[in-house]
Structure 1
Amino acid sequence: MIEVGNVYYFIELLIPVIVISVTYHLLKNKTLNFQYTYLFIWCLLGFILHFAKQLVYQDISQLSKSTAENICAVSTLVFPFIMMIKKKNVLHDFMFLIGLVGGGAGLLYPTEALGESLFTFETIRFYFCHMSLLAIPLLLALLNIREPDLKKWWVMPLLFLAYETIIMLNTALLTFTGLATREGFTPLQLFIDRQYLNNSFVFGPTPDMGIVGETIGNMTFPFMKTDIFNLTNGDEFYWPVIWLLIPSYIIFVPLYTVLALPFRKKHEVMSLEFV
């Protein structure tokens, strides 16, 4: 079984490194059209597998797992459509950021794979999809197909908030249609609860985040933690999505800069070679 720190955990970390390295060397001398088509088909496979997980659950109460329930799920669903945009777009830059961050985080802490066997369908699907989120944007950059643009740094947090809005609307759909339920909770209570259905922090840091959650929570304005409509009966309440505005700029601007900078330098070196 996979547990953080055991041999299977490190095997699953090594596989993406090998796959990305081998794929890069296989594609680097191919035509641009071949490279893009190859990566687009890879992206589509992740999209298909997101729905194929229902073959495992075969339970209508688990349909929520094939929706836009978290950051990586949204990425899996929208990446193929971003790749269909032929002209370089700021969405490609955000795809680079959220793919590396979300896919990398999923591989480092594989929540759905922990405690599972290495060779079950769901484990393979989980790792394939998260590896894809990391690998495809990275390969697009490494192959000089879609290099991240540092000039668009200020848009990254706003696009992240758009992601969070999609997740919030998806959570509303799940709770108010009864696709997601919990004993003792009304649909509204479940919708705004920070402990359940909140692994993307739409409604604030989760209780188990400890000092990390407290630190991120302190980055926002105090008034954005005010329960104006008394929805939580005095419990701490974060304004859904909006509370993330300041933390998103504090976290994602430097992170995007660090991730994109090597490709800017690479582009400058290549430009000098043609002078």
Structure 2
Amino acid sequence: MSIVYLNGTYMPIEDAHVSPLDRGFLFGDGIYEVIPSYGGKMVGFGPHIDRMIEGLGALEIELNWSHDQWRDLCQELINRNPKSQIGLYLHVTRGADIKRHHPYPKGVSPTVFAMPTDIPPAPIPERDKVDGYKVTTMQDERWKRCNIKSISLLGNVMHYQKGYSQGSGEVLLFNDKNELTECGACNAYIVKNGTMITPILDHQILPGITRLIALGVLQSDGSIAVEERTVTREEVFDADEIWISSSSKELAPVTHIDGQLVGDGKPGPVWEKAAKLYSAGKFNY
């Protein structure tokens, strides 16, 4: 039985309840984060909380928690849910008003919820031990503030489900200019002639923490060239390698796109080198 946190109290998940008038339930009015932890050590705690604070500010949700308050909550969840690896799901909504109406209400206390989630063991960064993902491409039809990690994920869910129903483990999304944005639940990358290339951050793309860590690790090491720039659909299909990343997947290779092989259909050597560097440096952020 999982132990969760809700508005100041730790309890079994079966005992956690929120009001049907909570604006998270009614409007998807909230922000969330998922912080992976392995052996009690969190990955990217500081950047995750920085992003949450920035998202809360963008939505004008007033919750003046410090990093230390969030760290204490996360550590307590780890202590109360002893597993070798768990994701720490943090969820803040604007709270519950006395009626349903669109404008931000005054004098409402945010709802703060946190729970452990199952995540797989840390991926093994070796080419012969990883199968790679199959992805499907489609036009990005989500809203224009994808840089905010909102709990309003219906657009992502619909894209992901369409790919899932076609046997894919992710989707690669392109805007109306046929430029790569991201995935249903991941950031995206290509490799060409040994250089890793990823779309530059803007309103179309969530600033992923795994992306942040990976770029930092690769730029610090210097053995793999890194570019942040526009990536066209043509470049994606001509890429030597394609990767995706998320907190639970870390850096993951793509081996099939729209039923076609990426490269030779196996995880590539640049991915293997980058994944090993990421694995060695991920706890430093």
Bin of the TM-score, shorter chain as denominator length: 0.3 to 0.5
TM-score (ref. length: structure 1): 0.34
Greater percentage in helix = 1
Greater percentage in strand = 2
